[in-house]
Amino acid sequence: MSVPLSVQLPEWLIEVLDREARRMGISRQTVMKVWLTERADAKQGS
């Protein structure tokens, strides 16, 4: 199940997300999901 979430991010972070999204050929939203999931998984494993 997914829950909608609205966040405000600094411009520099949006630029980083957009660069990574272009590099990977995916959307900004997908980059955020991947990064957040990786971080959460790492925290649960520690």
pLDDT tens for 12-44 read 999 999 999 999 999 999 999 999 999 999 999
Q: Region 6-16: what's the mean pLDDT?
A: 98
- Residue 5 placed within a domain: no
- Residue 2 placed within a domain: no
Residue 16 CA to residue 1 CA, distance in Å, equals 27
One-letter amino acid at 9 equals L
Q: In the structure, what pLDDT confidence band is assigned to residue 9 with cuts at 50, 70 and 90?
A: very high
* Burial class (CB within 10 angstroms; exposed 0-12, middle 13-18, buried 19+) of 40: exposed
- Residue 31 placed within a domain: yes
Residue 18 CA to residue 31 CA, distance in Å, equals 9
* pLDDT confidence of residue 45: 84
Domain that holds residue 27: 11-45
* pLDDT confidence of residue 38: 97
* pLDDT confidence of residue 29: 97
Number of domains in the chain: 1
- Residue 15 placed within a domain: yes
* pLDDT confidence of residue 46: 78
